[in-house]
Chains A and B, each alone.
Chain A
């Protein structure tokens, strides 16, 4: 039996405030949702960094994670504000952040964008994962090209059935690529991914408390895959990535 059997580690959670509609995304509600659903650990990031100031958001994330060890801090950088100063990304990792998450979906910049390319380059040698939402055709292709020679994991967030073939073809060429399961909603997406690229490349994420946990969890839970593969997807893979990051 491996150490991570039965653990749920959620690689996609947020907290803070949400300006686009009325909803409770408070830290308290995140922790409550984790308790309700038996989530052992969660990678998290303050939405302040997505919508307002990434520097202030990162401080808020660290504070929340220091107060509750179930939370694993991700930093975010807003490429619209990032000037590519030497050592900025490295310093975030030194301070204890376990990965860098971009909010391209909320912030609207393209991937082929100098500040993004600078972030991708700056992460070389740091060992922590980069998490990037991709919800238009070509995004995964470009992300794969940018990172194929890098030495760190890249987790594609929000991949849907529309981008499934693009991810699988890209991931066969680029061993750094992983995919978050939250929007892999087509009837056999998880089984296909496990068969084509292996369970070690799938990372469970739910988007709580912005989204319904059970919606993403039940897709993994009911997938016709081996139990050891399910354990890898639900927690084993992301824990390995985080442990290797140091």
Chain B
């Protein structure tokens, strides 16, 4: 069964992670059967948007299945708009993301974010939004209401809080169920058993896409979650690749 990874990264991390070069990504994709990956730049997310987007643009290659997200930072609205203009018309760039409120300090439901997203929304490509808390999910819902004609993907599916309650991912599932333009992407460190089954049951397998967080995270972890979940083969196919191919026009 092929896999399309809609949440991957290119660049370094401030943790001991040394598999971060293009060749490492290609090797991981081969090992884990990932046919296509949509990457955002870790440098753009954590440090310098312009430099990061440029680094990323240099490694994208449709023959290798490597596609990109343009990163935008609402703290720099004019620069962000320029980045959108520079890259989003390029067919190798399949969307905008991973917009990361934890690193920018700006929620996605603020005027600063709206202004940047409005510019990118015209391209009709999906947005990957980092969601790892109830607040992140709430803000995503406001964003999705503001731009009903665009697709927003809840990266990490709302995430996992260490309390083990599942509250944030349950809210993300509710949001994907209620809003036709909100999708779920599954990668996270802690996988409480039952969360994928619940997402399929409530939001529907059509609204869920595979993501690994590669190279921050090991794709084996997320693949294990999908294979270990008590869901049907056809649901697995939708999650692993069918939905991504449809949503990203791959």
Q: A91 an interface residue at 8 Å Cβ cutoff?
A: no
In the complex, which residues 29-49 of chain A have their Cβ closer than 8 Å to any Cβ of chain B? none
Taking the closest CB of chain A, its distance from the CB of B240, in whole angstroms, is 14
Chain A residues with a Cβ closer than 8 Å to the other chain, count: 35
Give the chain B neighbours of A21 by CB distance below 8 A. 164-166, 170, 192
Does B189 lie within 8 Å of A213, measured CB to CB? no
Residues of A within 8 A of B229 (CB): 212
B15 in complex: contacting residue of A23, A135, A186, CB < 8 Å: A186
What per-residue 1/0 map shows which CB atoms of B13-26 lie under 8 Å from chain A?
A: 10111110000100
Question: Which one of A20, A135, A168, A188 lies within 8 Å of B19 (CB-CB)?
Answer: A188
The one of A160, A186, A210 that contacts B192, using a Cβ cutoff of 8 Å: A210
Contacts of A217 in B (CB 8 A): 224
- Find chain A residues with CB under 8 A from B194 CB: 22-23
| Chain A stretch 202-226: residues in CB contact (< 8 A) with chain B | 208-219, 221-222
User: B64 at interface (Cβ–Cβ under 8 A)?
Assistant: no
B48 to chain A, nearest CB (A): 22
The number of inter-chain residue pairs (CB within 8 angstroms) is 109
Contact status B217-A186, CB under 8 Å: yes
Residues of B within 8 A of A210 (CB): 164, 192-193
Contact (Cβ within 8 A) A168 B193: no
- Interface contact B214-A187, CB-CB below 8 Å: yes
Are A20 and B218 interface neighbours, CB within 8 A?
no
Is A219 touching B164 in the complex (CB atoms < 8 A)?
Answer: no
Asked whether any CB of chain A lies closer than 8 Å to the CB of B221, the reply is: yes
User: Which residues from A are CB-within-8-Å of B163?
Assistant: 20
Say yes or no: B18 contacts A188, CB within 8 Å.
yes
Q: Does A106 contact B (CB under 8 A)?
A: yes
B61 → chain A, closest Cβ, in Å? 20
Whether the Cβ atoms of A214 and B228 lie closer than 8 Å is: yes
* Interface presence of A165 (CB below 8 A): yes
Are A161 and B220 in contact, with the CB atoms below 8 A?
A: no
User: How far, in whole Å, are A243 and B192 apart by their CA atoms in the complex?
Assistant: 31
User: Which residues of B sit under 8 angstroms from A168, Cβ to Cβ?
Assistant: 16
Q: Does B225 contact A (CB under 8 A)?
A: yes
State whether the Cβ of A241 lies closer than 8 Å to any Cβ in chain B: no
Q: Which residue of B lies closest to A136 (CB)?
A: B162
Once the chains are docked, how many angstroms separate the CA of A162 from the CA of B228? 25
Q: Quick check: is A185 within 8 A (CB to CB) of the other chain?
A: yes
A215 to chain B, nearest CB (A): 4
Cβ-based interface call for B32 (8 A): yes
Known: A187-B216, A211-B190, A222-B32. A20 touches B16 (CB 8 A): no
The verdict on A245 contacting chain B, using a C-beta distance below 8 Å, is no
Structural contact, B193 and A209, CB atoms closer than 8 A: yes
The reply to whether A212 and B224 form a contact with Cβ atoms under 8 Å apart is yes
Q: Which of B17-55 contact A (CB under 8 A)?
A: 17-19, 24, 28, 31-32
Q: Does B82 contact A (CB under 8 A)?
A: no
Q: Are A187 and B17 in contact, with the CB atoms below 8 A?
A: yes
**12 residue pairs bridging A and B, Cβ less than 8 Å apart:** A20-B165, A135-B162, A161-B15, A164-B15, A168-B16, A187-B28, A208-B193, A210-B164, A213-B224, A215-B191, A216-B224, A219-B221
Q: A105-B164, A186-B13 are known; give 17 further A-B pairs, CB within 8 A.
A: A21-B165, A21-B170, A23-B192, A161-B17, A165-B16, A183-B189, A187-B217, A189-B17, A211-B191, A212-B191, A212-B224, A215-B191, A216-B221, A218-B221, A218-B227, A221-B220, A222-B218
